Amino acid sequence: MNNEAVLILGLETSCDETAAAVVRDGSLILSSLVSSQVELHSRYGGVVPEIASRHHLSMINPLIDEALAEAGIDFADLQAIAVAHGPGLVGALLVGVATAKALAYARRLPLIAVNHLEAHLYANHLGGEDISYPAVNLIVSGGHSELLLIEKPGSATSLGRTRDDAAGEAFDKVARVLQLGYPGGPLIDRLAREGNPEAIAFPRAWLGDKGRFDFSFSGLKTAVINHLHRARQVREEVNLPDLAASFQEALVEVLVEKTILAARESGAKTVLLSGGVAANSHLRRKMAGRLSEALPAVSLRYPPAELCTDNAAMIAAAAYPRYRKSEFAGLDLNAYPGLGLR
């Protein structure tokens, strides 16, 4: 490949966000558009796959046109098309994959398949700041809680992952029981600011030595629900800010301490946060505070809030090193809802 600027159109339809973006050289965002489906799914308390797929179908082509226009380019200026092909909802993924394949074929452009989880890591590259390696990356979202060791760019090894409910899933389920709405993470984060995080002693699942880097939030979720049910049975008033703050503290403490342990054992120079829950204000504060105490030489990096949630700029950023290595997908590319990291 030559040294000219590389413009990649990224597409993201893995769950309930339809997104298109143009990124130059894997770091400079020329456009990044997201059509959220929060209002469509909020009445159901979670994502309805059929509704998500239909919304993607109606939105993806207009978003692509708008992304190109905002970037000031047309298809002739692109060097590649990138798309998330998993993990996610299969119907939603197929909309993006089919669209990307059609564009790649019609425009004779390389097609690059991107792992949605790995793309969250690359959200930290947008903006062009250098990252010191090795790094430990905590991915926390609605469907995933995972710790990765990144020895160098493009190389990620899973240290541990969720065994049941992911962090974002636990936030959503607790918010539903508290009748706060959807998505639950931002709502609990705001409510918790008014509460006492030490008011209720909710359990922490440390999982012993063999599971020291794994996560389990199902028990915490159940403990919150049981606490609420017991209070209602005896007609005891529940302090919702205290409950929200105590739940969030229990969840965040586990995320933070396991990440610090991984950073210490791996000799990491940087801790990266990514995924929707990385926008949580308490997680950011607590991670920064504990790192400064335990590992002051280790830096902390996380994307701006709009790049923590699903977006297409991270898809295009993750595709850039693959473009440089000519790692292209064929037109037989399929969607893989259970796709894991290599």
Please report, in angstroms and rounded to a whole number, the separation of the first and last CA atoms in the chain. Answer: 25
Measured torsion, CA atoms of residues 274, 280, 281, 284, in degrees rounded to the nearest 10:
-30
CATH architecture of 133-302: 2-Layer Sandwich (3.30)
In this predicted structure, what is the pLDDT of residue 247?
A: 98
In this predicted structure, what is the pLDDT of residue 160?
A: 94
CA distance 51 to 15: 10
- DSSP secondary structure string, 45-60? TS--HHHHHHHHHHHH
- The SS3 of residue 126 is coil
In this predicted structure, what is the pLDDT of residue 1?
A: 45
Residue pair 15/172 in contact (Cβ under 8 Å)? The answer is no
In this predicted structure, what is the pLDDT of residue 80?
A: 98
Domain 7-122+308-324 grouped into CATH 1.10.357.20: no
Label residue 153 exposed, middle or buried (CB < 10 Å: 0-12, 13-18, 19+): middle
The closest alpha carbon to 314, from 124, 152, 131, belongs to 124
The model's pTM: 0.90
Residue pair 158/146 in contact (Cβ under 8 Å)? The answer is yes
Residue pair 111/331 in contact (Cβ under 8 Å)? The answer is yes
Domain boundaries, the chain: 7-122+308-324, 133-302
CA distance 306 to 70: 17
What string of pLDDT tens digits covers the 342 residues of the chain?
456 899 999 999 998 899 999 999 999 999 999 998 777 777 777 788 888 899 999 999 999 999 999 999 999 999 999 999 999 999 999 999 999 999 999 999 999 999 998 899 899 989 767 899 999 999 998 788 999 999 987 788 899 999 999 999 999 999 999 999 888 999 999 999 999 999 999 999 999 998 999 999 999 999 999 999 999 899 999 999 999 999 999 999 999 999 999 999 999 999 999 999 999 999 999 999 999 999 999 999 999 988 999 999 999 999 999 999 999 999 999 999 988 876
Beta pairing class for 7-12 and 80-86:
parallel
Handedness of CA 54, 55, 58, 61 (dihedral sign): negative
What residue type is assigned to position 272 of the chain? L
